[in-house]
Amino acid sequence: MSSLLRLATAGSVDDGKSTLVGRLLYDTKSVLADQLDAIERASVDKGMTTPDLSLLVDGLRSEREQGITIDVAYRYFATPNRSFVLADTPGHVQYTRNTVTGASTAQLGVLLVDARNGVVEQTRRHAAVLAMLGVPRLVLAVNKVDLIDYDEAAFTVIAKEFAAHATSLGYAEGTVLAIPVSALQGDNVATKSENTPWYSGPTLLEHLEEVPVAPDPHEAPFRMPVQYVIRPRTPEYLDYRGYAGQIAAGTVRPGDEVVVLPQGLKSTVESVDTADGSLDEAGTGKSITVVLSDDLDITRGDVIAAADNAPKVTDEFTAALCWLSSKQLDPGARVLVKQGTRTVQAIVEELNARFDEQTLSIVDAPEKLELNEIGNVSLRLAEQLPVDDYTVSPRTGAFIVIDPKDGDTLAAGLVGHRFSQLKGVTEPEGA
Amino acid sequence: MTTLEAAADAARDNLAALESEAIHIFREVAGEFDRPVILFSGGKDSTLLLHLAIKAFWPAPVPFPLLHVDTGHNFDEVIAFRDHVVEKYGLRLVVASVQDYIDDGRLAERADGTRNPLQTQPLLDAIADNKFDAVFGGGRRDEERARAKERIFSLRSAFGQWDPRRQRPELWNLYNGRHRPGEHVRVFPLSNFTEADVWNYIAREQVELPSIYYAHKRKVYSRDGMWLTEGPWGGPREDEEVHELMVRYRTVGDGSCTGAVESTASTVEEVIAEVQASRLTERGATRADDRMSEAAMEDRKREGYF
């Protein structure tokens, strides 16, 4: 079982997400005495009688003043069996881009709804974004069950509606769980509630501890973008030439046949090095230095891949874009694409479609993409790039779009992603 | 497998993942920036930072110099450690001295004698003078609420300022280090480490630290609920009684506002046990500078502090 779970939380304004996250920190004893003293003082100042746990996580003064969360915040808690990195993403409509940011590395998404309101537009939108990014598992935390008198029937209606939506997005049975909770009272967060005898499932924390983390894609073919060429030129390592990188997919062993892209040069792995010694095998996520048996001209930006299952090398592809900037995207725009360790110039040739994640429908050939919109575009690149489809190999199918003028990050890109891959999406008529 | 063994396995996996993430960040910066520098105070986080940099580029030397913002209120043990490390790894050290700024009038001593807030100007000048374009810091997101929102690549304006609303979305492990002339990027490879992870990693890697992190006998006096020690920054007032206690430091900063904690933990294993049992955060326990106001860190970050 992997010991580190990366999760993202998302919810609408006032669903009590900060309180839920504060509750998780509090109940796992991740809150220390001085922090608790500080929030108790602040709560009393605000005229409250119990500590306001949301104050533990509302970080910036501008947020505390407005009572909202304006940016992704990262929280850490641990139990004896697992450490958790929680990306706490804000629920304001104008900050949906942060959900994409928080969810890009998440292995599990926790969506929060207010039991009195049930599944709302934001819930559907967030679930669609998580599905598109390939977050493998979802939890629906139906919060404030205390305010509906712990009513089983009302909870079941919400759970069923969400399950249907998740299924339509392609989530298989067993990957989605709804839990009745009260972040304020602590029901079913870390301790099983006596108020919901009809609920036999795990508490939120139990589920987070036990949920299988998506297995490392050991089956996936090896991919490693070269970050840096290590050439010590010291007497001891006079001829050493190693290619440093983090394994994006698959595993590598000495003796493996590899191909270096985009050049297409073939070679064999001589050793897999780290500062702690050479390895017999290294898997996804490990930072290593690869030494090849041939003297090749390899630089930052190249990709070392399994020779028998290499990515395609191309200077044009279609991709889904989550547009994250207030500057709109027009057809013909010149941008930079950073994929792996290479940044290349690109032209957005066509806007093929816009995905309405609310109605799960597709709008053909939009005139532009605006902040928080998701679209499908055709890109032409100034150089050949080795790319995989995002759904096959996320880390080599992911890219960011950068504004060449001011360096802003404009969009998150998913190579080859078509919205019709999400089941239940209506293709436009005539498509 | 027993529960204890399972927990030990889990901890190893977690540290391995954090190490690979940090190494990836160091290599990205080496590949994309012209003049990176590592902020190095001799404290445990910056020592860990350097340890990871050494691992990232092994068997080649670390391709960056170190920058120490020296408040002049130092612990002798820490300066000795700094110089020992620089010598051992053959590194280049740049020192930005707060004392120089006070001596020539560019900065004035504060009424409370604390120099941490005075570090910002010498730091920004050193960055500009040396044309550093990427500055590694040992900041962790678990330290404080404003830091929880920090990106791994954090863009700073030509005035060194941090604007939370201008932070770029950070997706996957695709860091965007683009910046305009005069701007620079602060980079935080330890972002996802917690205090417990730092100590567990120090134990696993047997990282050498300044001796004041471990229990030792020291003459201290109590002020604002903290055990302070005598030094070039001054000493006890008449009404403050001096005690000789077994203490250690959980953080190392400006001596005038960094407090010791009573402790008998003299090995890294004993420190880990103590950290796990502690009911105070390391900053809350020992740093007067973070107690100044509820938004103290947010304000100093905006000004261009670490």
Q: Which domain holds residue B145?
A: 3-198+295-303
A423 pLDDT more than 50: yes
**Partner-chain contact A80 B3, CB within 8 Å:** yes
Q: Which contiguous run of DSSP H or E holds residue B128?
A: helix B120-129
Regarding beta strands B93-97 and B66-70, do their DSSP bridges make them parallel or antiparallel, or are they unpaired?
Answer: parallel
Residue A318: C-alpha distances to residues A332, A349, A378, A381 (Å): 14, 10, 4, 11
Cα separation, A213 vs A107, in Å, equals 7
Are B121 and B256 found together in one domain? no
Are B173 and B228 found together in one domain? no
Look at A144 and A59; give whichever has higher pLDDT: A144
CATH number at residue B174: 3.40.50.620
Q: Which contiguous run of DSSP H or E holds residue B221?
A: strand B216-223
**Residue B5 pLDDT class (50, 70, 90 cuts):** low
A427 pLDDT more than 60: no
Are B53 and B174 found together in one domain? yes
A61 pLDDT more than 70: no
**Could you give the count of Cα atoms lying within 13 Å of B140 in the half-sphere of its Cβ?**
24
Phi, psi of B233 (to 5 degrees): -85, 0
ipTM of the complex: 0.89
CA B113 to chain centre: 21
CATH superfamily entry for domain A312-421: Translation factors (2.40.30.10)
Q: What are the tens digits of pLDDT across the range A219-241?
A: 789 999 999 999 998 899 999 99
**Partner-chain contact B168 A408, CB within 8 Å:** yes
Residue A126: C-alpha distances to residues A37, A106, A377 (Å): 35, 13, 21
Give start-end residues of each CATH 2.40.30.10 domain in chain A. 223-306, 312-421
Task: Tell me if chain A has a CB within 8 Å of the CB of B88.
Answer: no
- Mean pLDDT of all residues in A261-286: 96
Are B7 and B143 found together in one domain? yes
Q: How many contacts does A have with B, using Cβ atoms within 8 A?
A: 180
Please tell me what DSSP assigns to residue B146: T
Cα separation, A68 vs A60, in Å, equals 10
A425 pLDDT more than 70: no
Task: Tell me if chain B has a CB within 8 Å of the CB of A405.
Answer: no
Q: Per the domain annotation, does B256 fall within a domain?
A: yes
Q: What are the tens digits of pLDDT across the range B81-120?
A: 999 999 999 999 999 988 888 889 888 888 777 787 788 8
Task: Share the mean pLDDT of chain A.
Answer: 88
A56 pLDDT more than 80: no
Q: Select the residue of B141, B168, B172 nearest A398 (Cβ to Cβ).
A: B172
- Pick the range with the lowest mean pLDDT from A242-256, A346-360, B169-183: A346-360
Nearest C-alpha of chain A: how many angstroms from B169?
A: 6
**Partner-chain contact B285 A274, CB within 8 Å:** no
**Residue A369 pLDDT class (50, 70, 90 cuts):** very high
Q: What are the tens digits of pLDDT across the range B6-26?
A: 666 666 788 999 999 999 999
Has domain A223-306 been given CATH number 2.40.30.10? yes
Phi, psi of A161 (to 5 degrees): -60, -40
CATH superfamily entry for domain A4-210: P-loop containing nucleotide triphosphate hydrolases (3.40.50.300)
Read off the pTM. 0.89
Q: Per the domain annotation, does B205 fall within a domain?
A: no
**Residue A1 pLDDT class (50, 70, 90 cuts):** very low
**Partner-chain contact A398 B149, CB within 8 Å:** no
Q: What are the tens digits of pLDDT across the range A75-93?
A: 888 888 888 999 988 766 5
Q: Select the residue of B7, B59, B169 nearest A97 (Cβ to Cβ).
A: B169
Task: Share the mean pLDDT of chain B.
Answer: 85
Helix axes B268-277, B195-205, angle to 10 degrees: 160
Are the beta carbons of A36 and A22 closer than 8 angstroms?
no
Are B54 and B105 found together in one domain? yes
Q: Per the domain annotation, does B174 fall within a domain?
A: yes
**Residue A97 pLDDT class (50, 70, 90 cuts):** confident
Predicted pLDDT of residue A382:
97
- What is the number of domains present in chain B? 2
